[in-house]
Chain A
């Protein structure tokens, strides 16, 4: 039974207890709650509901509320009237609601029919689904879309025919609809067709609820979009292919909408422009800021030219990407649209050519660097093409070939045989095909080959060290040559000088019989020459090439001092190493050797790195040395003995002379004194020859005194120290002659004394000698008529002689050898007084000065005494 009808019938039973409870306040309106009850029962239950509710309500009111209550009695007959009125009104409610319901039903039926027609004939699939997803209704179109018959479809849920990947999205949306959070949704989803295919559909769903708000059913509109999807897919594929192609080509495309003022960019174009993907529409204003200001006018002109229908050349401009930096971009483009039509857009491509630009610049810079490098090189560098034509050559090339400058140089190798001769090291003339450039062009690569060159015009010759190689292209074929040449004439000369010097050194070393050693302190390695092994008496094969080998050759007793000497030199305490030591040789033979050497290299800290030196066998030298030392010792001893004896003799002589000077004189003085006293005091008493005898005693005493004086002078001239003074001979002679003249005022003697005579020697001795000679000259001219004395100097055999000459008595050269002996006289006392000791004294003095004296004389003509005083 219709639950609305039941509710309609039950409503009076609900109203009864309520009115019963409220009755104290509702009295006397017995129908108070029942009018509304009947109205709603009629609305719910239509005719029959209304009528039953009306009757039920009358019975309840009659019994429970009409006084007397709880009885069927009526207190007033008018109550029947109110009952009748309620019954009529109940009937009217019921009929009215019955009518209303009928009209509504008719209306709905007509709507339903129209809806069904529309439903079935719609161009889109429409379906109703229960909240749990079962198909309630589906139209023909939907059946076509999914390929099921109507009945087959209704036997399935929507989940059964939804493509699994799309199911979750669909279910989620439906859940949201059920919860009321959305009113409707639209998605694109795939359905599984009966034939197994997939169909794309646009699905729009809304929920129809019951009047009470509970979900009733979903209405789904399904639009078949498979074709669109196919087109889209094809388009996307085509776009992807396009993007890929652009990506590969790094070529972006663009389209300039002239009316709209915006530019549409391809994905690759955006990558080139370095703007975020998706920003595929950049208006021209925004773009302007990204172009280097200097290039903006050029861009404007280019766009203008394009717009005018010209086809301008590709334009390269500098672009400043939003993320910084600078790129070179190249655009090309043209106007789209047919002639005569108003063009709507321009299109073209864009390309990032920064790398190309940079590469171009790098090539350019590389070229400049190469030029600079070539110019700065001191070696001649020349690069030729395959024909031997010099494409590049530097200033050093001109210098090397003795040209005045680069302009003067011949620029193909073929011209050079007229300019130069080229020789090999052995002096043979080289044909041109053996020169560096032709050899390089034949594919040879050579380092450091030496050629001698000679200029044909000047005859100048020099030596060049050449390196050359072919230049090949990427396919490996020779396209040219590169040659460098260095003038090594000076180097060669130095090398030659070094070689000669080394050879000389080696010859000298061989000649000196010395061994050579060279000790590298960094590695500890020691080189020794073959002579070294001969000296130390060891075999080269036994050499460990280190310092230990050296130590093994040193006599154990000498080792400590040898090591100390080497260490001291290594620390820089001695300028050279030089020491002698004995070899560790068999006991019966002692070999002495001498090492001399020097640190020849030190590092930055002064630590020695290399010591070089020689080793000499000095055994014989040592023996000779020992002998000489022995002889020297002996000699020294003998000299000491002799010297001691001489000293004693000299001392004795000294003492003797001293005694003579004191003690021999006193008796003479007594003889002279008393003989004179006798003469003075008793002269008158003496007779005859007595006075004469006394006088002779006095004369003898005086003579004896002169002899003693002479002996003392002679003795002193050979004793005592020899001083070294500067002696003015001229002054000495002048003074002494003046003295002589004073003592003999009666004599007229012509005296010539050479001015400016000087010598070195003991002043007192030289004065004594000179006085003696002048005395003699003075004495022996006393009988001459025109006496003349000369003192002068002369140079003989490189020695200076001082001469005292007179024109006096002279002497017989036959006795000349006796002149200088003590107490030897060539004249009698009655001719010339004298004791014969003066010239002996002079000779002693001259000899003590290392000089010589000689005498020339002739009887009656005079004499010349010449003396020199050593150096």
Chain B
């Protein structure tokens, strides 16, 4: 479990801190890489730009993806992930403040594995993140490349 990496794509530093704290609290010990906008997330995944010499396994075990991101939005990032054969099957969880119906529909349409709303109530938020981590890292069997 320890060799699995999680990519968190989040532009809001406060949300990032809270998410990381919640994961830590939930005893998720995996390496968590953070990308702060869509562009960065894609460069990370495809080892481009600043991430050409990225260490570690080729792809993260899962991606936690915010929707409202500077430059490329989370949904655009998801589309690019699904369009590329290398990342086509990568588990992506949309993690967003929005509870807009259209965001949820669109996410599933373009291939999100889960859609999770970040609640305002931090206790609730922490529990949600903890459950996500456990599900995707421990329970779910990812497709083999």
Q: A: which residues have CB within 8 A of B?
A: 658, 661-663, 665-670, 672-677, 698, 701-702, 704-705, 709, 712
Contacts and interface: CB of A to CB of B under 8 A. Distances in A.
Question: Which of A667, A676, A701, A712 has the largest number of chain B CB atoms within 10 A?
Answer: A676
Contacts of A662: 67-68, 96-98
Given A670-B15, A673-B18, A665 B68 contact: no
B14 A666 contact: yes
Contacts of B68: 662-663
Interface string B109-139: 0000000001111110110000000000000
B120 A661 contact: no
B77 to A, nearest CB: 16
18 contacts: A658-B100, A661-B99, A661-B100, A662-B68, A662-B96, A663-B97, A665-B97, A668-B120, A669-B14, A669-B15, A669-B18, A669-B118, A672-B122, A673-B18, A673-B126, A677-B21, A702-B121, A705-B119
B3 interface: no
A702 B120 contact: yes
Nearest to A701: B120
> Ordered nearest first, which 5 A-B pairs have the shortest CB separation?
A705-B120, A673-B122, A670-B14, A665-B97, A673-B18
B15 A666 contact: yes
Interface centre among A669, A674, A712 (most CB of B within 10 A): A669
Given A669-B14, A669-B18, 11 more contacts: A665-B120, A667-B14, A669-B119, A670-B12, A672-B120, A673-B14, A675-B122, A702-B120, A705-B119, A705-B121, A709-B99
A513 B97 CA distance: 74
Interface string B81-106: 00000000000000011111000000
B121 to A, nearest CB: 6
A673 B125 CA distance: 8
Contacts of A669: 14-15, 18, 97, 118-120, 122, 125
B123 to A, nearest CB: 6
A674 B14 contact: yes
- In which size bucket is the chain B interface? 20 to 34
B120 to A, nearest CB: 3
A611 B130 CA distance: 89
Q: Is the interface of A mostly helix, strand, loop or mixed?
A: helix
Interface of B: 12, 14-15, 18, 21, 67-68, 96-100, 118-123, 125-126
A650 to B, nearest CB: 14
Given A666-B12, A666-B14, A670-B14, A658 B98 contact: yes
Contacts of B21: 673, 677
Contacts of A663: 68, 97
B122 A661 contact: no
B98 A661 contact: yes
B96 A676 contact: no
A716 to B, nearest CB: 8
Contacts of A675: 122
Contacts of B67: 662
A723 to B, nearest CB: 13
A701 B122 CA distance: 10
B72 to A, nearest CB: 16
B55 to A, nearest CB: 31
A668 B12 CA distance: 13
Contacts of A667: 14
B123 A676 contact: yes
A702 B124 CA distance: 11
A391 B102 CA distance: 105
B14 A672 contact: no
Nearest to A708: B120
A752 B121 CA distance: 35
A827 B97 CA distance: 31
A757 B68 CA distance: 42
B118 A665 contact: yes
A661 B68 CA distance: 11
A658 B100 CA distance: 7
Nearest to B97: A665
A667 B98 CA distance: 13
A665 B121 CA distance: 10
A868 B26 CA distance: 50
A803 B37 CA distance: 51
B97 A666 contact: yes
A666 B67 CA distance: 12
B67 to A, nearest CB: 7
A675 B126 CA distance: 13
A666, A709, A712 pick with most chain B CB within 10 angstroms:
A666
Contacts of B12: 666, 670
A651 to B, nearest CB: 14
B122 A676 contact: yes
A669 B125 CA distance: 9
Nearest to A704: B120
Nearest to B15: A666
Contacts of B18: 669-670, 673-674, 677
B69 to A, nearest CB: 11
Contacts of B100: 658, 661
Contacts of B96: 662
A711 to B, nearest CB: 13
A701 B96 CA distance: 18
Contacts of A677: 18, 21, 122
Contacts of B125: 669, 673
Residue of A662, A668, A674, A677 with highest tally of chain B CB at under 10 A: A662
B71 to A, nearest CB: 16
B19 to A, nearest CB: 9
B130 to A, nearest CB: 14
A673 B18 CA distance: 7
Contacts of A665: 97, 118, 120
B24 to A, nearest CB: 11
A338 B14 CA distance: 175
Nearest to B99: A661
Contacts of A702: 120-121
Contacts of B99: 661, 709, 712
Contacts of A672: 120-122
Contacts of A668: 120
A561 B51 CA distance: 77
A661 B15 contact: no
B51 to A, nearest CB: 26
A497 B120 CA distance: 87
A658 B98 CA distance: 8
A315 B57 CA distance: 147
A231 B100 CA distance: 156
Contacts of B120: 665, 668-669, 672, 701-702, 704-705
A677 B122 CA distance: 9
A712 B14 CA distance: 24
Nearest to B120: A705
Contacts of B15: 666, 669-670
Nearest to A676: B122
Contacts of B119: 669, 705
A670 B17 CA distance: 9
Nearest to A764: B101
A655 to B, nearest CB: 12
A237 B98 CA distance: 153
A476 B90 CA distance: 128
A712 B103 CA distance: 14
A98 B5 CA distance: 208
Contacts of A674: 14, 18
Contacts of B126: 673
Contact of B97 (A661, A701, A704): A661
B75 to A, nearest CB: 12
B18 to A, nearest CB: 4
A683 to B, nearest CB: 14
A673 B68 CA distance: 20
A698 B18 CA distance: 15
Contacts of B121: 672, 702, 705
A388 B122 CA distance: 127
Contacts of B98: 658, 661-662
